Amino acid sequence: MGGFPGFGVWMNQNTQQPLKAGSKRSEDDKSKSGSPKESNNLELYHDSEEEDKQIKLWNVAERKHPWYDPPPKVKVTTKRGICHMNIEFTLGATPLAAFQHLSKPPSLSIDMSARQLLKNKSRKVLKKDGPRQILESENTVAFDFLWWSGAFPIKLIVDENIKDLTAKYKKEKMMFMKVFEGSYKVEPIFVDSERLCKRRLPKTREEYKKCSGGQGKIASKVIVDQYFQPSPPFNLPPFSWYINGITIRTTKTLLQMIQLSTATLRELS
């Protein structure tokens, strides 16, 4: 993802610490995330007025009954040495907001005193065609591996579609990984449909807006398929067992941190 599963590698010590809200946007990301050109592109495919209404609905609801995102569901299989993670999780935000949060995630740390686990460096658009754009994303990831610790760079090529809210990513440069690629998509969850729509459960946004009187919140379901394989000699046991385990645990931890950062946004909206 733009920065998202570019971070699924070795942080042994850090993943044992309790999660706290400690996310922030890098200065580079701040300078690029709100450009007029990008905002206009979003408005071509998404209703900005409806987004504003959703932000207000979430803000009011959060004060009365805070939204809870359960931990990500992760299914792991391995075939011919390549590990496949199928991940599903929710975000208490609209699909567009969730997609933007995944595409350009905040720099993440477990608490304010800890070093950053994920730090955004840059996003460079290589090609643009309507709602689709191909970009180069650079991040750094903190790691603890055996007696080494530090941060290493990750460079991904990301193909994202702002209209369909889908993306594919593949490593261009990543230490220790022979294979690192995947995809993700964001789908709407009509969270107030049973309460506001009664027996007529909606299948589309239009139906949901009509039956809820425009008062129904829309959350997001994120589906990720990620594939990775360590480079030789780390692709052989026992190194592969250790690396795969740490990668899986760290990815889950960082997804939970993204969930926490969206909770912070709901409170501040």
Number of domains within the chain: 1
Residue 89 has pLDDT above 50, yes or no: yes
What CATH number corresponds to the domain at position 185?
Answer: 3.30.530.20
pLDDT higher at 63 or 219? 219
**Long-range CB pairs of 164-170, under 8 A, 24+ apart, other chains included:** 164/131, 165/95, 165/96, 165/98, 165/99, 167/1, 167/2, 167/99, 167/102, 167/103, 169/1, 169/2, 169/5, 169/6, 169/137
- Give mean pLDDT, residues 7-27: 40
pLDDT per residue as tens digits for the range 45-85? 899 999 999 999 999 999 899 999 999 999 999 999 999 99
Residue 16 scores a pLDDT above 50: no
Domain that holds residue 187: 5-268
> Above 90 in pLDDT, residue 253?
no
CB 140 within 8 A of CB 150: no
Q: Residue 169 and residue 181: Cα distance in Å, rounded? A: 5
